[in-house]
Amino acid sequence: MTSKEIRTAITRDGTVIRVPLERWVHITESHDYMAGHLDLVIETIENPDWLVKGWVDEVIALKRYHLIECKDTYAVVVFKNALNGFVITAFMTTKYEKIIKRGILWEK
């Protein structure tokens, strides 16, 4: 891990996914509620409920959490699944169905 990476995660297939500081700043500026939830991002990559098709070589990991009272909330982490993989973005949603429609690659 270099000084510009704040954490790494290991996917189900053993690929190391970096969380670069620049990406984490982007995530927390775009989705301020994600600040303080880096562990949730790592857990979503390492232990997802679903892996969904991205656009080219991206993968979308989803994991169900109960962060909003009375609603299931899903962490969404988009990452490049490659030799030098990294997190692109991460956010929370209650509308996971829209993401699942892209095509499930793997389901828990």
Residue pLDDT, tens place only, 4-28: 889 999 999 999 999 999 999 999 9
Residue 20 located in a structural domain: yes
**For 49-105, what is each residue's pLDDT tens digit?**
999 999 988 999 999 987 656 678 999 999 999 888 999 999 999 999 999 999 999
Asked whether residue 69 is domain-assigned, the answer is yes
Residue 25: HSE in the Cβ half-sphere, 13 Å Cα cutoff: 5
Cβ contact 20:8 at 8 Å = no
* Structural domains of the chain, count: 1
Does 108 map to a domain?
Answer: no
2 has a pLDDT exceeding 70: no
In which domain, by residue range, is 67 found? Answer: 5-103
Q: Is the pTM of this model over 0.85?
A: yes
* Residue 98 counted as domain residue: yes
Long-range contacts of 53-59, Cβ-Cβ distance < 8 Å, separation of 24 or more: 53/102, 53/103, 53/104, 53/105, 54/78, 54/81, 54/102, 57/81, 57/82, 58/88, 59/11, 59/105
